[in-house]
Structure 1
């Protein structure tokens, strides 16, 4: 029974990941779903995570010595306290992802099987892997 979907991203021809792998808890009863529905769930989860991160950044926090060291290593020490308001329309985000798939900007692989259409049925297993493979167009073409 599915429990967790691990999500990763790669750029064709690059070894560095597109983003850090993250996971999405899934209902135990979910064993098959269309790619369209799966991508919708992934995008909505990421929009919600973005909202949460934005709210956390509004708070000013006291950093521990290890957090300061980590910040120095990364080149940025962040205590929060920003009132930057960024809004994301969840439906617009979903529509953009679905259109980008249709336009061939990226491929989707679920458990190493390429998904060809948004309405194809995806069979999920316990701890399934979802990978986005972003394609990079040739310069001038």
Structure 2
């Protein structure tokens, strides 16, 4: 089943990441199961990229398109987005971090504009549902 995932940051009008297609296996989850599925797939994708595979298909010569260069230039660094240390991430520790962040309130999850507030909450996903993650950033300092 295909759903759309979008990430936003509180205080910004534009989404950090435009809604991206995401394939899930089943239509009945708890929030805990949904987070595990997302984290597992994202860590696998990261580990796949970390060992030098940008795409699923091997290429003879990696290059950046003009659009990729233009998109990266505002940050001041243009790269192939490879992890040259080739360090793989552990799925369980990544999942533990996500659960801790959710419990600490560092991000909120909305399914079609309805907040998912508990890890044990049952959710029924349907084709083309929109899942939004809102990152809450902590500010430090004083106001005088």
Bin for the TM-score computed over the shorter chain: 0.7 to 0.9
TM-score scaled by structure 2?
0.78
Deviation for aligned residue 1:56: 1.8
Q: How does 1:87-126 map to 2 (within 5 A)?
A: 87-126=88-127
* CA RMSD across the alignment: 2.6
- Residues 22 and 52 of structure 1: is their aligned pair in 2 closer, same or farther, counting only changes over 3 Å? farther
Q: Is residue 2:13 matched to residue 1:15?
A: yes
Residue 44 of structure 1: how far off its partner (Å): 0.6
1:61–1:36 CA distance, 2 compared to 1 (3 A): same
Task: Give ranges in structure 2 of 5+ residues lacking alignment.
Answer: none
Mapped partners of 1:88, 1:25: distance in 2: 21
> CA distance change for structure 1 residues 88 and 71 in 2, over 3 Å: closer, same or farther?
same
For the Cα contact (< 8 Å) 2:49–2:82, is it kept in 1? Answer: no
The Cα shift of 1:12 comes to: 0.8
1:22-61 equivalence runs, <5 A: 22-27=20-25, 30-54=26-50, 55-56=52-53, 61=61
5+ residue gaps, structure 1, are none
> Number of paired residues?
133
The answer to whether the 8 Å contact 1:71/1:78 transfers is no
Give CA-to-partner distance per residue, 1:31-84, whole Å, 9 cap, x none. Answer: 221000000000111111112222225x772537xx1x2344233654688742
TM, length-normalised to structure 1: 0.79
